[in-house]
Each structure stands twice: as C-alpha cells, then as structure tokens.
Chain A
C-alpha cells in the first residue's frame, strides 16, 4: 500500500473532521470576539491531509513574506503540534486589537509576545478542547510558544517524529472586522496519531449519526 493511500480518510471522516474543526474554531472565534471587542469573521474550514512538503508549498504560495506562529503541542490518544499562523506584518495590529488600542508603540512592542501567546492560546486551546470533548478524549496542551519564520521553518520543528508525519492542514481564514488581521490554523500529526484519529472519528460518526447509516451512501 502506498504512503498516500494509507493516509487517506473517507469522505465522511473528512466531513466529520471538518465539522469538528468548524465547531471548535467557531467557539474560539466567539471567545476571541470578547477579547478584541470586534466581530471575528471566519471562512468555511477546508481540511486537507498533506505531506510536510506540500504544506510548505501551499503556505509559501499564499504567503511570501515572514510569518509568525503560536505553537502548542498536544498529547493524548492523538499527539502532535497545533499552529496558529499569520503574516508577521499583522502581528502588531493583533496586539493593538487585543489591548484595545491607545497604547504607545513601545508598549505594544513590549506586549507583543504576551498578546500573541494569549490569542493563540484562546484559539488553539478552544479549538482543540472542543474537538477533544466531542471525540470524548482528553488532550494535554503545552504552553504557547511564539515562532517566527517561513512555512519551512514552522513545519520543520525538532524533534521530528520517527514514524514520519503528515500535516493535517486545517485551512481556515479568520479576519477581525475593521482590522487587517487574518490567519491560518495547521496541525501536524504523526502516522500513529492519524490512525488513532480515524478510529475516533468513526466512533464520533456512529454516536452522532448512528442509525442513519443506511443514508450514508445516499446521494447528496
């Protein structure tokens, strides 16, 4: 079996994962809205499972300039890294939004790390906690860490998993109304975690839509 086909998720598994991400990010957006006191707009999430190289290329094609990321590790039945990524030029604008504006530039620069970590924590923790709850598993999250660089730096963090990993690229755009802020969320998981995830997704599908199985293959 080729690497690619071992990785594939069924259409319904992708659908279920997309829906989980959608619910997780929507809840996180509502929390972020309280923090920045402005409406947070979300795109419809697109979930793709890609290799590390493809993820770097996808990100490189849409973002040629420097990026900043909030990085958190998660551990449990599934283990991996979650990244909230946005263009570095958005960074100070995000801090302004979070701190409510009115602060002198030097204070904003001083608060940057903290504000980024806090925002990342709200979005990534909110998103992962919702997904973990809905999968009925618990995940341990590390503290947020700020990274700067390009896609290849963000997707090549040490230590690299022995089993090889794939990037679950959750491509969701968020934007803060009236502020020039947008970003992406990505998750990196190794092969055993992806396998565990597919099992958890099947259980989730059964709990959510069990008994409607006869309609699974019905035309949409």
Chain B
C-alpha cells in the first residue's frame, strides 16, 4: 500500500531535498507539497494524508501550530516537525502534539528511519 505524504516548507530547496529522499526511499508513495500552513490545511481539507513532514520556521503559522491543526483534521496522521532549532521548548511542544522532531538538515537515513517507524505503526512491515 502506498501512503499519502504531505510536505510543507517555505523553502523550495528544502522541499526538493525531501522529495529527492522520498524518491529514493519510497518512489511509489504519493507526495503533495505546500509552501505554508494555509495551503497545507486547504489540501488536508480536500483529502486525507497518512504522513506530514512540516518545517518549523515558516512565515505565518509555524510547523507546531500546523501540526495541531492537521491532527484535528486527521487524528491518525503521523507527523514530523523538522528544524535545526532544537530548543527544549520546541522539541517538547512537538512531542505534545504527537509529532516526532527531526533535525535539519534532514538526512535520508533520518527520514528513512521515521518513515519505517510509521510503516510499522500503521501495520505494515
């Protein structure tokens, strides 16, 4: 089964880097991209997503606020908040909304590990 993945980052380069890693890891999964929280919520209202990868520091609402909104829309969604800003407050707020904190720059092994965990949690080996 292929998963639906939402990628949200205001940086085009960061989205391209995630897309490249996803292409190498799970080329058959469906990816949709958004550049900010408003776009992401609009997409999530139209369709469901299994996984969302969210940049933390974005213009408008940040990745943590967005994580909470996506959680309300799709309670079963697996969330990762991505940032180089590993301040305790941010990491613990990510955990509070049930998101995994992934460090930036995001490496393919780190993303792969998160996606494998999600696959297992959703009952696929």
Contacts and interface: CB of A to CB of B under 8 A. Distances in A.
B19 A212 contact: yes
B118 interface: no
Interface residues of A, number: 29
Interface in A17-66: 18-19, 22-24, 26-27, 29-30, 33, 39-40, 42, 44
Contacts of A19: 11, 13-14
A12 B13 contact: yes
Nearest to B59: A44
Contact of B16 (A11, A29, A208): A208
Contact of A208 (B13, B58, B89): B13
B53 to A, nearest CB: 15
B87 interface: yes
Contacts of A11: 12
B87 A39 contact: yes
Contacts of A30: 84-87
Contacts of B57: 22, 26, 42, 44
Contact of B84 (A16, A23, A40, A210): A23
A176 B109 CA distance: 34
Contacts of A175: none
Contact of A220 (B35, B83, B87, B89): B35
A206 to B, nearest CB: 11
A15 B13 CA distance: 7
A123 B84 CA distance: 14
A29 B89 contact: no
Interface of B: 10-14, 16-17, 19-20, 23, 33, 35, 57-59, 83-89, 104-105
Interface of A: 11-12, 15-16, 18-19, 22-24, 26-27, 29-30, 33, 39-40, 42, 44, 130, 134, 205, 208-212, 215-216, 220
17 contacts: A15-B13, A18-B11, A23-B104, A24-B84, A26-B57, A30-B84, A39-B89, A40-B87, A42-B57, A42-B85, A44-B10, A44-B59, A208-B13, A209-B17, A209-B20, A210-B20, A220-B33
